[in-house]
Structure 1
Amino acid sequence: MLYYLYELNHAAMAPWRAAADAGLTFWRSPANPLAETQLGRSLAASLELFERTTRRYGKPEFGLTDTIIGDDLVNVEETTILAKPFCKLLQFRKLWDVPKPQHKLLIVAPMSGHYATLLRGTVESMLPHYDTYITDWVDARNVPLFEGGFDLDDYIDYVMEFLRFLGPDTSVMAVCQPSVPVMAAVALMNAARDPATPRTMILMGGPIDTRRNPTSVNRLAQEKGVGWFRQNVIMKVPAPHAGMLRDVYPGFLQLGGFMTMNLDRHLDAHRELFWHLVEGDGDSAEKHKDFYDEYMSVMDLTAEFYLQTVEKVFVNHDLPKGTLTHRNACVDPAKITRTALMTIEGERDDISGVGQTEAAQDLCPDLPADKKLHYLQPEVGHYGVFNGSRYRKEIVPRIVAFVNRNANDPAASEPQPRPRAGTA
């Protein structure tokens, strides 16, 4: 019922948004002698804030059309190279005058409410160095019921299928939520000695073991339990969406949760936007708009995937306990012996606490020490782990150095025998 009320509210607000748009046009018209007065700018700012806080934000575009490699400006073309019901695999293909081979990098975007475009900065930073791909998850409310369900097993299957599609000489990067399914997929591929096993795995701000330094998000899952989430946050998609009657965890609930975690900060940001608009500070206003255009764009998740993630990752801690299964087969991270592992955390992360991602290092005891690296970035929160100036200046060079060191390592193709006890 709440989803229907949400849709009804948007429909009811449509005339008011139209009136706000008309008023904004009037108060910003060059022909209006009051447009540049304090009154005119204040009214225009108020109308714009009303429109922005009541609109439905659609899926943003990546908008990446070029990159700089060395001294050359290289055009980039976004292409869908594989389409599945719940995800598209995108390639940012470089339009080289003389094609140059690059190591392939698959970025697995989080399926946690926001679109893959939240990683625009992550993709942009990797483009000069690698042949870059990303998972573009589909809004569950737009997937018809006849396409079937999508759960955690399906997510792991998608990751393995994409890696096999890309073939050998590939590395994989998981940002936040996908750290667990990506590690599971890599463990299964290592155990099967799959030729498409990735050379390197980078896990960034992910909930590998949420028992370490638990955050408010982790404590909520523990306190409520999966039954509470099934009862209170799972809803059916209303008409006229293509996925009508599908059980989902709505994106607007996830957004509400994100907003209330730092409500004071968001209120202050919108208050500052109002005064930037009144004072005519266009640069500051545009930065705010760019961030919130992305932040407010949310998608629905299938109920089965969401509930399994809550249960297996945040409540039962299946991966670190060794009880995670995929299609009834045990997932053993200790089988990872061929894929180099890098884990990255933010000192001020309030989503995935310090130590939760690093736990992946302990789950791979047979991986040689020279194929492991952990990095804690000072003075950044969750978002700063994969975006922002510190990410570009301090994290990206470390990722590139680690991946390049292992990308062409012939030892990565076969696991090396461990020395017997008492031998050097």
Structure 2
Amino acid sequence: MYYQLYELNHAILQPYRAGADALKLFYQNPLNPFSMTPFGRSAAAAAEVFERTTRRYAKPAFGLDCTTVDGDLVAMREQVVWSRPFCQLVHFERDLPRERKPDQKLLIVAPMSGHYATLLRGTVEAMSQHADVYITDWTDARMVPLSDGRFDLDDYIDYIIDMLHHIGPGTHVMAVCQPSVPVLAAVAVMESRGDRMAPASMTLMGGPIDTRRNPTAVNKLAEEKGIDWFRDNVIMQVPFPNPGFMRDVYPGFLQLSGFMTMNLDRHLIAQKDFFVNLVKNDGDSAEKHRDFYDEYLAVMDLTAEFYLQTVETVFCNHDLPKGTMMHRGQAIDPSAVRNVALFTVEGENDDISGLGQTQAAHDLCSNIPPEKRAHYMQPQVGHYGVFNGSRFRAQIVPRIVDFIAANAMADAQKPKAAAKPRLVSTRK
């Protein structure tokens, strides 16, 4: 019912948004003498603030058409190379000389936690200078028809394994925030099977591996409420006429409300500053505000089964660190990881995944040799700074690149196990 009311409210405001757009254009028209006055700029600014705070933000584009490799600017294009109902794998293909030695393949697993994969635009931009980058582009659940079936945490793990198989051997995988748990689980499953497509290394960044360590407000909320509260209060059905009509989801607008509430004063100040900058005609500051909130306010729905299973497994029961996490009826054993190198990254001021939560992966993966593991804590950054921003580019990226290079050589030198025979069915 709440989702339907949200949609109705959005539809009711549509004429007012159109009116605000017209008012803004009227007072920004250079032929209008009021456009140069404080009154005209204030009216145009108020109209834009209203329109932006009431609109539904569409999925942003990556917009990365070039990158710098070896000091030269090279063209880059997006290609969808693998697709399933709830995700597609995007390859950022670079126009490099044929005689150049290929870079290491890197799969960036974007979080499926409300925002689109484009939130990692800066991560892709930085890593594409050093690696052949692929990224998971998760699909908004309200756009997936019921006929395409369910999607839960087990499916998420299967998707990661399938994508690693598609990209090929020697791939390195990077998990940003939420996917740290399913990526570690996928690698453990692959290692326990002796899968030759297991990645050469995995980099876990700001992930909730063990939320019992230094719990944040998000972690405490999950433990206090319990899974039944989330099932009863945040799961809703997609309303008509969306393609995913009648699908049970955790709506993106609810998750966004939670994010905004955590730092409400900061967002209110940002809107006030945006209005002032528009009145002052400070175009650069206003454009930075637009760029940030165009990304931040674009949200997607999550399937109910994936969301509830993740909350219960990761935040309520702590199944992975307790050794009780299951995948398709089989226990996940991180100690089975022996050949995949492990690098963990945390931010000093992270208020989403507290210090120590990602580092806990080293305790779980006890059989990785010391020379194939590393941990880094970046001072003076919060959660977002772990995978984006100036400190990420200057201090975190070089460490990831060095770790990948070192373990790419080690992976190339180690003997490959014989492939297990596949059983071929003769049934038609």
Question: For this structure pair, what is the TM-score category when the shorter chain's length is used for normalisation?
Answer: over 0.9
Counting only pairs closer than 5 Å after superposition, residues 370-409 of structure 1 correspond to structure 2 as: 370-409=371-410
Code of the aligned partner of 1:310? V
Partner residue in 2 for 1:68: 68
1:296-334 deviation per Cα after TM superposition (whole angstroms, max 9, x unaligned):
000000000000000000000000000001000110000
Match of 1:28 in 2: 28
Judge conservation of contact 2:206–2:383 (CA < 8 Å) in 1: yes
Q: Report the CA distance shift for 1:99/1:17 in structure 2 as closer, same or farther (over 3 A).
A: farther
Residues 1:183 and 2:151 are matched in the alignment: no
Shift of 1:193: 1.3
Post-superposition Cα deviations, 1:339-358, rounded to whole Å, max 9, x if no partner, equal: 00000000000000010000
Give the superposed CA RMSD: 1.0
Q: Which residue of 2 aligns with 1:420?
A: none
Report % sequence identity: 63
**Where does residue 12 of structure 1 map in the other structure?**
12
Query: In the TM superposition, what are the counterparts of 1:189-200 in structure 2 within 5 Å?
Result: 189-200=190-201
Q: Matched residue of 1:34: which SS?
A: helix
1:70 shift after superposition: 1.5
Q: Which residue does 1:260 correspond to in 2?
A: 261
Q: Deviations over 1:358-415 (max 9, x none)?
A: 0001111111111111100000000000000110011000000111100121455569
2:421 match: none
Match in the other structure for 1:421 = none
Structure 2 Cα separation of the partners of residues 71 and 358 of structure 1: 34
SS at match of 2:33: coil
- Give the equivalent residue in structure 1 for 2:425: none
| Pair 1:297 & 2:298 matched | yes
Tell me the SS of whatever aligns to 2:111: coil
Check 1:412–1:250 CA distance in 2 against 1; reply closer, same or farther (3 A cut). Answer: farther
- What is the CA deviation profile of residues 126-152 of structure 1, one whole-angstrom value per residue up to 9, with x for unaligned ones? 101111000000000000001100000
User: Which deviates more from structure 2 when the two are superposed, residues 170-179 or residues 185-194?
Assistant: 185-194
Shift of 1:96: 2.3
Q: Distance in 1 between matches of 2:129 and 2:200?
A: 19
The residue number in structure 2 matching 1:418 is none
**CA 1:412–1:190 in structure 2 vs 1: closer, same or farther (change >3 Å)?**
farther
Whole-angstrom CA distance in 2 between matches of 1:315 and 1:135: 26
After TM superposition, the score normalised by the length of structure 2 is 0.96
**TM-score by structure 1 length?**
0.97
Matched residues in 1 for 2:358 and 2:267: separation?
27
State the match for 1:55 in structure 2.
55
Conservation of the 8 A alpha-carbon contact between 2:196 and 2:416: no
**Could you tell me which residue of structure 1 aligns to residue 316 of structure 2?**
315
Q: List gaps (5 residues or longer) in structure 1.
A: 416-424
2:415, 2:43 → 1: CA distance? 65
Matches within 5 A, 1:66-215: 66-98=66-98, 100=100, 101-215=102-216
The DSSP-based 3-state class of the residue aligned with 2:226 is helix
- Would you say the 8 A contact 1:338–1:413 is kept in 2? no
How big is the shift at 1:43? Answer: 1.0
Preserved CA contact (<8 Å) 1:168 1:198: yes
Aligned pairs, how many? 415
Which deviations, in whole Å up to 9, do the C-alpha atoms of 1:256-310 show, x marking residues without a partner? Answer: 0000000011111111111111111111111111010000000000000000000
Q: d(CA) in 1 for partners of 2:74 and 2:389?
A: 23
Deviation at 1:98, TM superposition (A): 2.7
User: Could you list the runs of 4 or more consecutive aligned residues of structure 1 that deviate by over 3 angstroms after TM superposition?
Assistant: 410-415
Q: Is the 8 A contact 1:336 1:366 kept in 2?
A: yes
CA pair 385-49 structure 1, distance change in 2 beyond 3 A: same
Give yes or no for contact 1:406–1:412 (8 Å, CA) kept in 2.
Answer: no
Following superposition, the deviation at residue 200 of structure 1 comes to: 0.6
Residue-by-residue CA offset, 1:150-191 (whole Å, 9 max, x unaligned): 000000000000001111110000000000000000011111
Q: What amino acid maps onto 1:357 in structure 2?
A: T
Greater shift, 228-237 or 97-106, is seen at 97-106
